Structure 1
Amino acid sequence: MDRSVVVYLTSYGFSSLGNSVAAVVLPLVVLATTGSPLDAGIVAAATAGPAVLSGLFMGGLIDRFDRRTMSIVTDLVAAAGIAALPIVDLVSELSLGWFVLFGIVASFGDVPGLTAREPLVPGVQRRSGIGFERIVGLRESVGAVTMMVGPAVAAALVVTLDGPGALWVTSALALVAALTTLALPRDVGARVADTPSEPPRRAAAQVVAGMVWLARRSPLVRAVTVVNLLLVTVLVAVQGLLLPVHFTVLGQEGRLGLVLTSLAGGMLVGSAAYAMASARLRRRTWLSLSLVGSLVGIGVIGALPGIGWIFAGAALVGLFGGALGALFGVVMIETIPDDLRGRVMSAQNALFTLSPAVGILGAAVLVEYASLETAGAVVIGVWFVAVVAALVLRPLRRIDASAGGA
C-alpha cells in the first residue's frame, strides 16, 4: 500500500483514539477531582458551543490554507488544551474553572481537526492512485477499531495512573497524530491546482458560504446530510440514554460497554467490506442493503429485548452502518468542490456535534413523561422515516450518477 495512505490512516487512528480516550477520561478526572457529577456535565456543556463555533469558522481557513498544515495545527491545539490541565495540577489545584477553560481550548482542535482531516483524502488519492472507496472504507475501519479500544484504554489509564497522568497520555495521542501528519508529503495538503481561489472575506461570510452551498447547491449532499443527521441523532439517543436506562432496569449496567464493542465490531466489518468490495455492487444497491439492514438492527434494539438480542441488534447496526458511512463519505468527497470542502464539511460537522444533545434530550423527555417502551418505539419510527426518505428521495435514487472518483 502507498506510504501516503498508511501515514494518513495512522494519523487518523491516533487522532480518533485520542478523542475516544478523552471522551471517557476527562469526565472521570473531573468527577474524581471535584466529586460532583454535575461538574462533569457542566464541562461537557461548556465545551460543546465553542467546539461548534470553532469548527464552523475553521472551515474558511481550511479552504484558504494548506490542509496538511491545518490538520497538524488543530491536533497540536487539542494536545495543548489537555496537557495544560496536568501542568496546572503541578503548580496549583485543579478546579471546575480550569476544566472548563482548558476544555474549551481543547475543543478548538476537536471539530476543526475532524474537518481538516477530511479534505486530505483527495490529496492522498491523487498521490496513491487508490480509489476513494477503498481509502474511506479503510478510514472508517480504523475509526471503528479506535471506538472499540478507546474506552478500554481509557479505563486502563484511569486505573493504573492518577488523573493527571491519564491526561498526559491523552494529550500525547493528539501530539503523535500531529507528528504523524507531518510525515505526509507536502503536496497531499495542497488545494487542487485548477480550483479558482476566492478572495479573502470576513470569517462570518466564509461560514455563510458553506451553509448556503449545503442548503442550496447540491441536492445529493443535502439529502445525505439530512439522512445521516437523523440516523446519528437516533443512534446517540440509543447509546446515551435508552440502553443505559434499559440495562439499569435489568440490573446489568456492567454489560453496557459490551454493546458499544459489538457496535464497533460490526462497523469494522462493514466498512472493511465496503473498502474491499465496493466495485462489485452498484452504489444504489449498497445504499438499499445498508439502510434495510440497519433498520432491522435498530428494530431489535428499540424493542428492548434481552441482552443477547441487543448485542445482535448492535452488531447489525454497526455492520450495515459501517458500509453506509463509508459510502456517504465517498459521495461527500466526490461531490463537494475542493475550494468549498472545508466550509461545507464544517457546517455538516457542526450539525453532527449538536445532534447528541438533541437525541439524548429527546429520549430523556420521552422516558420521563411517557415510558421507556414509548421511547424505543419512537427510535424505531424515526429510523424507519430516515430509511424510507433515503430510498425515495430523487438525489439518492440517482446516487450511482455521482460515481466518478473510484
Structure 2
Amino acid sequence: MKRIPVAFLASELLSLLGNAIAGVALPLIVLQSTGSVLGAGLVAAATAVPAMLGGLFTGVLIDRINRRTASIVTDLISAGAVAALPVVDRLVGLELGWFILFGIVGSLGDVPGMTAREALLPAIVRHGGITTERLVGVRESIGALAILVGPAAAGGLMALFDGSAVLWITAVTSLAAALVTLTLPRGVGDLAAESGPATGWAQLREGWRLLFRGSRFLLAVTLINLVLAIVLSALQGLVLPVHFTLLDQPGLLGLVLSSIALGTLVGGGVYAVVGSRGPRRAWFVAGFGTSVLGIATIAVLPAAGFVFVGAFLLGVAAALLSGLLGVLMLERIPDRMRGRILGTQNAILTGAAPVGIVAAAVAVEYAGLAVAAAAFAVVWALAAVVAVTSRALRSLEAAPMKESV
C-alpha cells in the first residue's frame, strides 16, 4: 500500500482512537470532578445537539475549502477542547459548566471531522493507487479496531494516571491525527472548480434537494442507515443492558460490544480483500441476510454465548453493508456536493442513537423486554426486505449519478 492511503488510514485510526478513549474516560472524569451522575448525563446531552448541527451545516464549508485542511482543523478543534480541561483545572478548578462548554466545542469537531475524512476518500483512491473497495474495507476494520482498543486503553489509563494526565494523552492522540493528515500532499484535498450556487445557504439547499428529492438511491441508503442506527442503539443502549442486569451479569455487555467490533474487524478485512470480486448484488443480499440473522439471534435474548455469536454476525454484516454502500455513495455523490450530503447523513445518524434508546425505553416499559427486543428485530427484518426489493437499490454496479436537482 502506498504512502498516501497509509497516512490517511493512520490519521483515521488516531482520530477514532482519541474519540473512543474520550467516550469512556470523560464521563468518569466528570464523575470524579463533580461527584454528580446527573452531571455526566448533562454533558452527554449538551453535546448531542451541537454535534448534529455541526454536521448539518459545516458540510457547505467542507465543499468550499481544501478537504485536507478541513480534516486537520477539525482534529485540532477536538484536541484543543480536550486539552483546555486540564488547563482550566490547574487555573481555577473544573466545574460542570466547564465540561459542558468544552464538550460543546469538541463536538463541533467530531461529526464535521468524520465528514471531512469521508469526503477525502475519492481523492485518496485517485492519488493512492488503491481500489475503493480495499480502502473502504480497511477503514471499516480500523473503526472496529478503535472500538476494541479505545475503551480498554481508557480503562488502563484511568487506573494508571489521574484525570488530567488522561485528558492530555487523549488530546495528543487527536493532535497526532492532525499532524499525520498534514503529511498528505495539499493537492489531495483540492476541489475542482465547478459551477454552483454562490451562497452557502443556497449550496446547502442544493445538497438537500439532491439527497431528499433528486436521488432515490441516496434517500434509500440514508433511510436504511437511519433504521439500522435506531435498531442498534435500542439493542446496545437499553435492551441488552436491561437483559444482563436482570441476569445479574452487567459486565457481559462489554463482551457483546467487543463481539460486534470483532465481527466488524473481520467483515471489513474480508471486504477489503475480495470486495471488488463478484456481483455487488450478491454482497448486498449477503450483508442484509447476515444482519437479519445476527439481530434475530440477539433479540431472542438467549444464553450469553449465543448473544455473542449474534453480535459477531451483526458486526460482520455491518462491515459488509457499510463497505458496499460506502463505495456506492462515493461513486454516485457529485464531488462538489460531497461534504453537504455526507454531513447531513452523519448529522441524522448522530441523532438516531437517542431516538433508538428512548424508543426502546418506551417499548420495554409498556410491552416488556422480550416483546421490545422482538419488535426491533422485526423492524430490521422488514427494512431488509424493503431494501433488497427496492427499485432504487436494484442497480448497484458503478454508475456515476446525474445531478437531478
Q: Same fold (TM over 0.5)?
A: yes
Return 5+ residue gaps in structure 1 as ranges. Answer: none
Residues 1:321 and 2:299 aligned together: no
Task: Quote the residue 1:198 is aligned against.
Answer: 196
SS of 1:280 mapped into structure 2: coil
Alignment equivalent of 2:330, drawn from 330, 333, 344: 333
State the distance in 1 between where 2:52 and 2:198 align: 22
Deviation at 1:402, TM superposition (A): 3.6
Deviations 1:141-183 (A, max 9, x none): 1111111111101111111111111111111111010001001
Moved more, 302-311 or 213-222: 213-222
SS of 1:5 mapped into structure 2: helix
Aligned residues: 401
State the distance in 2 between where 1:250 and 1:154 align: 27
Task: Quote the residue 1:235 is aligned against.
Answer: 232
Deviation at 1:33, TM superposition (A): 1.3
State the distance in 1 between where 2:364 and 2:333 align: 39
State the distance in 1 between where 2:285 and 2:267 align: 14
Cα 1:318/1:284, change in 2 over 3 Å: same
Deviation at 1:32, TM superposition (A): 1.5
Alignment equivalent of 1:382, drawn from 379, 383, 392: 379
State the distance in 2 between where 1:18 and 1:197 align: 37
> Residues 99-138 of structure 1 correspond to what in structure 2 (within 5 A)?
99-138=99-138
Deviation at 1:283, TM superposition (A): 0.8
State the distance in 1 between where 2:278 and 2:365 align: 44
What is the CA RMSD across the aligned residues, in angstroms?
A: 1.3
SS of 1:64 mapped into structure 2: coil
Moved more, 171-180 or 25-34: 25-34
Task: Quote the residue 1:140 is aligned against.
Answer: 140
Residues 1:89 and 2:89 aligned together: yes
State the distance in 2 between where 1:208 and 1:25 align: 38
Contact 2:328 2:398 (C-alpha < 8 Å) held by counterparts = no
Moved more, 353-362 or 24-33: 24-33
State the distance in 1 between where 2:103 and 2:283 align: 39
Contact 1:76 1:175 (C-alpha < 8 Å) held by counterparts = yes
Deviation at 1:28, TM superposition (A): 1.1
Contact 1:57 1:206 (C-alpha < 8 Å) held by counterparts = no
SS of 1:176 mapped into structure 2: helix
Task: Specify the code of the residue in structure 1 equivalent to 2:308.
Answer: F
Task: Quote the residue 2:155 is aligned against.
Answer: 155
Deviation at 1:400, TM superposition (A): 2.3
Deviation at 1:213, TM superposition (A): 1.5
Cα 1:200/1:157, change in 2 over 3 Å: farther
Residues 1:261 and 2:244 aligned together: no
SS of 1:175 mapped into structure 2: helix
Alignment equivalent of 2:214, drawn from 197, 213, 217: 217
State the distance in 2 between where 1:75 and 1:200 align: 28
Contact 2:332 2:400 (C-alpha < 8 Å) held by counterparts = no
State the distance in 2 between where 1:303 and 1:148 align: 25
State the distance in 1 between where 2:45 and 2:87 align: 23
Deviation at 1:210, TM superposition (A): 2.2
Task: Quote the residue 2:356 is aligned against.
Answer: 359
Deviations 1:198-253 (A, max 9, x none): 35414x33332222221012211111111111111111111111111111011111
Task: Quote the residue 1:58 is aligned against.
Answer: 58
State the distance in 1 between where 2:104 and 2:375 align: 34
Task: Quote the residue 1:40 is aligned against.
Answer: 40
Task: Specify the code of the residue in structure 1 equivalent to 2:44.
Answer: A
Task: Quote the residue 1:19 is aligned against.
Answer: 19
Task: Quote the residue 1:296 is aligned against.
Answer: 293
The TM-score with structure 1 as length reference comes to 0.96
Task: Quote the residue 2:78 is aligned against.
Answer: 78
Runs of 4+, deviation exceeding 4 Å = none
The TM-score with structure 2 as length reference comes to 0.97
Cα 1:403/1:250, change in 2 over 3 Å: farther
